[in-house]
């Protein structure tokens, strides 16, 4: 998750947004978002409807959780790339940046204009390295 937070600006530069999803309730998700200073939304699938429906449900651990998975959707909501892992590993964010810059048709990208907050976060992230 932190990896994607650090690569968020590079993904936004391709016109791509990031949305995280887990089965954690909102309060816990917000605590994680603040702890890792994640600049993107976290959605809360507490009923396991999406993870079950999308067949990325790991029923064996912690009462049922999501498998680590990454989907890249274009602006028409069509899947352009997917990676589902069975354990804890996940495709690195840098690889998703590379894929997004190639796979997402330029015609479907929206022009991204960074906000002052985006610039501040990018500078802060670069200073922490």
Partner 1 sequence: MVLDKIPKVGQLAPDFELPDSSGTPQRLSSLASQGPVVLLFYRGYW
Distance in Å, CB of 82 to partner 1, minimum: 6
Residue 95 φ/ψ, nearest 5 degrees: -70, -40
Q: Looking at beta carbons only, is 21 or 122 nearer to partner 1?
A: 21
Q: Looking at beta carbons only, is 81 or 125 nearer to partner 1?
A: 81
Q: Which residue carries 């940046």 as its tokens?
A: 97
Task: For residue 15, give the nearest of 125, 101, 98, 122 by alpha carbon.
Answer: 101
Q: Which residue carries 């929206």 as its tokens?
A: 110
Distance in Å, CB of 111 to partner 1, minimum: 9
Instruction: State the first-to-last Cα distance of the chain, in angstroms, to the nearest integer.
Output: 17
Task: For residue 22, give the nearest of 44, 55, 50 by alpha carbon.
Answer: 44
Distance between CA atoms of residues 37 and 3, nearest Å? 11
Q: Which residues of this protein are in contact with partner 1, per CB under 8 A?
A: 1, 4, 11, 14-24, 26-33, 41-45, 49-56, 58, 61-62, 65-82, 84, 88, 90, 96, 100, 104, 108-110
Distance in Å, CB of 28 to partner 1, minimum: 5
Distance in Å, CB of 84 to partner 1, minimum: 7
Q: Looking at beta carbons only, is 27 or 127 nearer to partner 1?
A: 27
């Amino acid at each position: 998750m932190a990896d994607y937070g650090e690569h968020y600006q590079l993904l936004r530069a391709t016109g791509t947004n990031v949305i995280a999803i887990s089965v954690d309730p909102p309060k816990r998700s917000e605590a994680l978002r603040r702890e890792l200073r994640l600049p993107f939304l976290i959605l809360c699938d507490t009923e396991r409807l999406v993870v079950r429906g999308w067949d990325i449900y790991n029923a064996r651990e912690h009462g049922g959780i999501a498998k680590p998975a990454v989907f890249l959707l274009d602006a028409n909501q069509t899947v352009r790339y997917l990676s589902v892992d069975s354990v804890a590993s996940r495709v690195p964010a840098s690889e998703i940046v590379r894929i997004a810059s190639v796979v997402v048709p330029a015609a479907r990208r929206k022009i991204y204009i960074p906000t002052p907050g985006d610039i501040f976060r990018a500078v802060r992230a670069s200073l922490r390295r």
